[in-house]
Structures are given as C-alpha cells and as structure tokens.
Amino acid sequence: MTQQHVARPTDLQADCANCFALCCVALPFARSADFAVNKDAGQPCTNLQADFRCGIHTRLRDKGFSGCTVFDCFGAGQKVSRVTFGGQDWRQAPHTARQMFDVFPVMRQLHELLWYLTEALTLPQTRPVHADLRRALDNTDRLTRSSAEQLADLDIAAHRADINALLLRTSELVRADVPGRKRNHRGADLIGAQLKGADLRGANLRGAYLIAADLTGADLRTADLIGADLRDANLHGADLNGVIFLTQPQLNAARGDATTNLPPALARPAHWR
C-alpha cells in the first residue's frame, strides 16, 4: 500500500525570523569537513550578526559551513524564543542565556518526535496503535509548552525511549505490507556500500550508517530510515516516495538530483544538481 504523506505542520518548520539564532549559539561544532572553525556551546558563531542573521547565509557551503545547511531544528528555535522565553532574547537579557541554550537541544528533540508522531498518524496501517500515537503526540506537545525549568529537568532520553517503542511498532505495521522477506540492516555499517539499483522496499534501515553509500536508482519505498546517517549518500534516481521517518536534515546531508523521487512532505535540497 502506498503511503500518503502530508505537508509538514507549520509549527514543525524552522522559522529563523522568529528565532534568536539559537542553533548558531547554543550548539557546539568542531572544525571539520562540515565546519570551518571550532565553536563551543553557548558561544555565538563568528558569522552571526547583531540582527540574529547569518552574515554568510548564501555562501555557507563555499565558506566551509556545509553543516549549517544540513541542520534543521523542526521549529524548536522559535518555540524556545517566542513561547518558552516569551520573546525575551539572550542579548537583551543575558541572565537567560545559559538556560535558553540548555533548553534548546531538549526542545529540538521534542519537536523531532512530534514530526515522527505526526507522520505515523497519517499512515493507514497505524490504526491498531492510533490511540497510543495520539496520546503520545498530545503528551509530547504538552511537554513543549512546559516552563524552562521543567524542560531543563526533563529526562528526554526516557521520553524518546517510550516514543521509540511506538514508532518501532508503526514501522512493523507499515513494512508488513511489503510482500516477501525484507532486508534488516538496523544499525548496520553500510559506509560506502555499493547498493546501486538495490531493492530495499520495506527494509529496516533504522540507525544504519549509509555514509557515502551508492544508492543510485535504489528502490527505498516503505523503508524505515529513522536515524539513518545519509551523509554524502548518492541518491541519484533513487525512489524515496513512501519511505517512512525520513527527515529534511537527512535529505540535506545526502546527494541527489532531479531524478530522485521524494516524499511530498520534503523539499529538494537547493545544493542538489
């Protein structure tokens, strides 16, 4: 059965204009192929301007900051900036900075879970667990509206574990529609793997390392890609329509072109050729 994806909910889309550049300050990064310099958590990026905009936004890849073009907060940035802290920014109120930067990664994980749960509820095969998914969605949404103190104290690992059990059940229900034996590559090391034209329909690729893998022309319909590392994976001509739990950051990290068949809810990355 073909999966029907819906557009990403507005509140799960990053709205940088309503965020205090939290991803440019709260998170650390190390000098590498993804980042041109080292930066500690809580330290503003040297490219950050006074108006919370990036001074090299249109040239990030050329300047060695491709990692910035891959990142997506799932709307957590504006939630922390405008809801949790009521529009009070860390520059004007420096006493809030430490707590705001601590809360942002927690909120980002909660919003990522909201993305997965929202998708799961659109899939027809999830009817047997629909009530559980709805409760999990409502509870996670409620948590995103907690106070800064409550968010900082939240055991996010335990919450993720509870949600993951539901998402795993969702995956099993969806992939059961694919006839025959499905490949199980959960957590597998597939770095640089030659998978050109591979039939991966209904495959379990949860947490798989697909870095620089050749997936040219591969059929990934109804495969579970939650947590899979797709950095530099070649998706030219691959069929991803109907894949489950694929996110925009994963897609942004991969390589594809106009022949890559994407789920309607995801955008073709601007750097693809």
> In this structure, what CATH number is given to the domain that contains residue 222?
2.160.20.80
Any domain includes 42: yes
Closest to 245 in 3D by CA, of 164, 185, 180, 178: 164
pLDDT at 74 over 60: yes
Average pLDDT in the 241-258 region? 95
Both 168 and 191 in one domain: the answer is: no
Last residue of a domain, one of 146, 175, 204: 175
Both 226 and 128 in one domain: the answer is: no
Token pair in block for residue 208: 């798989």
**Any idea which residue has 């955008």 for tokens?**
267
Domain count of the fold of the chain: 2
Both 69 and 113 in one domain: the answer is: yes
pLDDT at 216 over 90: yes
> Measured between alpha carbons, how far is 99 from 79 in angstroms, rounded to an integer?
14
Beta-bridge partner residues of 224:
204, 244
Expressed as residue numbers, the domain containing 209 is 183-273
Condensed to tens digits (0 to 9), the pLDDT of residues 34-53 reads 999 999 999 999 999 999 99
Any domain includes 196: yes
Last residue of a domain, one of 175, 203, 220: 175
Condensed to tens digits (0 to 9), the pLDDT of residues 144-179 reads 999 999 999 999 999 999 999 999 999 999 999 899
Beta-bridge partner residues of 204:
184, 224
Token pair in block for residue 23: 């991803």
Last residue of a domain, one of 137, 159, 175: 175
Check residue 129 and report its DSSP letter: G
Average pLDDT in the 119-130 region? 95
The backbone torsions φ and ψ at residue 133, rounded to the nearest 5 degrees and listed phi first, read -65, -40
Both 204 and 150 in one domain: the answer is: no
Any domain includes 4: no
Mean pLDDT of all residues belonging to the chain: 94
Encode burial over 126-163: b for 16+ CB neighbours within 10 A, e otherwise: beebeeebeebbeebbebbebebeebeebebeebeeeb
**Any idea which residue has 């440019």 for tokens?**
24
pLDDT at 101 over 60: yes
Both 131 and 235 in one domain: the answer is: no
Both 155 and 219 in one domain: the answer is: no
pTM of the model: 0.92
Both 165 and 195 in one domain: the answer is: no
Contact (CB, 8 A) for 139 and 93:
no
Reported as a pLDDT band with limits 50, 70 and 90, residue 9 is: low
Both 252 and 121 in one domain: the answer is: no
**Percent with pLDDT over 70 in the chain:** 96
Both 111 and 244 in one domain: the answer is: no
Any domain includes 63: yes
Both 149 and 24 in one domain: the answer is: yes
pLDDT score for 11: 86
Both 159 and 250 in one domain: the answer is: no
Q: Which residue has the higher pLDDT, 264 or 141?
A: 141
